[in-house]
Structure 1
């Protein structure tokens, strides 16, 4: 342990984490269960570092939601060779959680408070039954979809709006104003991928937006309803809550420079 004038040096570390959320009760640790991603990570880090480690995530993901690029940070006194440390952690983590990389960051870095934007993707198998190997990571939506209608509807959702009607947020005092920079809809073989790029996401927002877009694509809802939904601020007027298993947290962005580059290359985000 390194010391400066007899004082232990505390460092701040930023991690990028992948996980399959199928078997977990979400990201955030809870009082009534230890089966969360955050709990597993904290326990594993505490064993390896022999310190009580508390981590801060960039945000919560619900039970069943996955991540390619969740970000979290923690502070500790132990000094590690980061390459060796990464190997040790991944040997102790369960196979459905992986620490992709770790780096030392400034002491004021905070995974949630320092984030400037995020990217989520939602994956859909439309029509035929999906591959048995992909079924846990797709929502099987059987009704025929008009992708051009979905793209037109997505254009109306982009920009700065009050998204309260597209969330499960219960706190009436919390601001629900968010900005969606871009929404892309791509057909990849037998899958449809909807990608959301924005400065922040409310509770269940990506899943409710997806449910609403699918209803429009299936001809069950008209685009003219969007103005009424936004104006109402009422969850009951928006679409259904798409299941969690199709949703992935793709990336968390921490600089405006990185955000600007991604904004010009939206089709290459995932």
Structure 2
């Protein structure tokens, strides 16, 4: 479960799609092997994690997670580590063999890699609060209620992956994040009043960050450009725009420029149809106070 599936728009042009029977977490052996390679070259260079982390522009906890095989390395980390550690191409070579990312559905992993390196990331969601904005309690409610049921170990693996993804919001302050969420998603009270109250408080805290914009699409609206379903858009480091549509047990990466342009047009219209940033914060505070 990347972010719980829903209806895709049916667009096929320029689409790469993947389907899996359940999004089961896979072994992290390749991640652990990659981490050992990085650690070996770091020690060869005479660097501690504290000395290495600023040179690759990542935090010490992130470096530790990568070396322990608990986090998929972003592309820019791989490139910087290769240069900083003078690794003879070994780190970049090891990265090319990374095919598994525990806790993320197979069909979501390609987008997760793009998400981790995006210059801009836009998300419209009408089914649930987007994964990057979820609290631990809200995410756990989703995983516990998933069908077919997950085992306790599977729930914990997917929880770890979800919480790990959320580091992007604070570790990439130069990435611009925009979220449009349907009002009814917040009023559903998934997990109960206490879970929802803490969720709204969390979203309000994130919305105070300069690089994050959150807008609510009101229940009463005379126009809506997103009726074809959820969508995500990202701008890569090369300033290329890509789209992503997610359904039940499937994800579609959109690369065709005309289709991406159509999605951008719809997202831009939704930004004008949703509540303003100020009105969104006002509504969220009102909803939190009513719980």
- Fold similarity call, TM over 0.5: no
Q: TM-score, normalised by structure 2?
A: 0.25
Q: TM-score, normalised by structure 1?
A: 0.26
> Which has the larger strand fraction?
1
For CA contacts below 8 A with separation 6 or more, give which structure has more relative contact order: 2
> Which has the larger helix fraction?
2
